[in-house]
Structure 1
Amino acid sequence: MNINPIVKIPAEEQATNALREFIVSGQIPQGTRITEAVLSEKLNLSRSTVRTALHLLTREGLVRLKPYSGWMITMLTEKDIWELCTLRSAIERLGARLAAEFIDTDNNSEKLQLAFKHFTQTCASNDYATIAESDLGLHEVIIGISGNRRLQEQYDLIKRQTLLFIRSSNDLIPDSGEILNQHKPIVEAILSGDIELAGRLSEEHNIEEGKKLISSIAL
């Protein structure tokens, strides 16, 4: 009989995971002011537990504590978008180049094809929250097969903010099939081992999406 043991998850971790999901999914919109008291009541957790979760989310860039105003869900500004866009484009460009270089080692081709297959399926679902998670997952696989551990560590530092960026930019695209089409050439270039093309397409994708997102909030 195979019975998996019950894993106890600390309340702080549960609160952090729940709040992160609410933020990234858009259930709590960007710029929303939140209080420990209300969240404590909604989540049925102590205020100290909620406070710990909020402090953890500030490290991820999803929540900010403003003097005299309290807690607020991060609202991506033009500067935030520009910083994330340029940083992502640099990291993902290098990741795509290295992934293309090492695509024929360690079953990397199979890993990428599997991730893209999953991404294709989620894009067909038209569930933008799930698509954003799968979108990030695809980029994580590309960074992962680059073989550069330190590059992966740097990507992990901006992963949650990147997810917020992806969700915000994807929301501007009415046809989820277009999201898939944006990534297909990048994946094909990596699978073909075209180092220069993979890097260039990855960088261009990030820059273009950043420009669109900045334009949308400037309206």
Structure 2
Amino acid sequence: MTISKLRPVTRQSTEAIVTENLRDYILSGEVEPGGRLTEIALAEQLGVARSTLRMGLQRLAVEGIVVQIPYTGWQVASLSPQDVWEIWTLRGSLESLASRLAAARTEPEVRARLDSAIEGLLSACKSGDLRAMTDADFALHRAIVESSGHQRLASQYRVVEQQVRLFIATSNKHVAAGPDDIIAQHEPLIAALRAQDPEAAARAAWEHDETEGARLTRWLEQQTEAVD
């Protein structure tokens, strides 16, 4: 009997659980970018001390999805056009390389991982559930990075992946015109991955990020104009 593929069971600290719950709550779209986060209400809802909650919020601040406003409190990070440009260009560079490498791989386990992520997105879009679609959207891009076989690339992606999730959540909620639009955004990339065409996959990944970055930027500019 071999047990080499079993992963050790890890016990999460209360802080880690709080951080994970807060992250999922924020990235679900329940709170708009720029929305206030009240320590007392969140601590009561989670059933933890405010000091524990604050440690979770500080971790999310490092990830770039919440900010602390002096003398005011916490809020979900707002995305400016500059933020969007920086995220999509960095994301596009990493995901384009990852897509090229992933499309070239032929190992059955890699192909199965990509197929599972693709089917996950298609299934979530059929359900029409926005949170499921957003989770599956990010999961596909994460699967591509993991399938690249490039550990340093994956390490760099982890630095910004929560900001990428915020980008995707905001775009899918406010910019995408429903499930069919989300599928259409990914069709060229999916086709290139399935065809195992590295160059087409790299190009499709970059164009996807560039197009969605432009769409989200236009939406943000419209919000600013409406306020002015």
TM-score of the two chains, using structure 2 as the length reference: 0.88
Q: Secondary structure at the match of 2:33?
A: coil
- Who is 1:153 aligned against? 155
- Who is 2:128 aligned against? 126
Deviation at 1:173, TM superposition (A): 1.5
- Who is 1:196 aligned against? 199
- Who is 1:166 aligned against? 168
Deviation at 1:165, TM superposition (A): 0.5
Deviation at 1:114, TM superposition (A): 1.6
Deviation at 1:74, TM superposition (A): 0.6
- Who is 1:135 aligned against? 137
TM-superposition CA deviations, 1:118-162 (whole Å, max 9, x none): 111011111111111111111111111111011111111111111
Give, as a single letter, the amino acid of the residue that structure 2 aligns with 1:85: W
Q: What are the ranges of 5 or more consecutive residues in structure 1 without an aligned counterpart?
A: 1-5
Equivalent pairs, count: 213
Give, as a single letter, the amino acid of the residue that structure 2 aligns with 1:36: E
CA RMSD across the alignment: 1.6
Q: Match for 1:62 among 62, 65, 72? A: 65
Give the percent of matched residue pairs that are identical in Structure 1 and Structure 2.
35
Q: Match for 1:215 among 187, 208, 218? A: 218
Deviation at 1:106, TM superposition (A): 4.7
Matched, 1:84 2:87: yes
Deviation at 1:35, TM superposition (A): 3.1
Residues in 1 aligned to 2:101 and 2:208: alpha-carbon distance in whole angstroms: 17
Residues in 1 aligned to 2:159 and 2:21: alpha-carbon distance in whole angstroms: 20
Moved over 3 A (4+): 6-9
Q: Secondary structure at the match of 2:107?
A: coil
Residues in 2 aligned to 1:100 and 1:19: alpha-carbon distance in whole angstroms: 34
TM-superposition CA deviations, 1:24-43 (whole Å, max 9, x none): 11222221222322322232
Give, as a single letter, the amino acid of the residue that structure 1 aligns with 2:112: E
Deviation at 1:7, TM superposition (A): 7.1
Q: What are the ranges of 5 or more consecutive residues in structure 2 without an aligned counterpart?
A: 1-8, 223-228
Give, as a single letter, the amino acid of the residue that structure 1 aligns with 2:74: W
TM-superposition CA deviations, 1:41-72 (whole Å, max 9, x none): 23221010011010011111111112233211
TM-score of the two chains, using structure 1 as the length reference: 0.91
- Who is 2:146 aligned against? 144
Deviates more, 1:164-173 or 1:81-90: 164-173
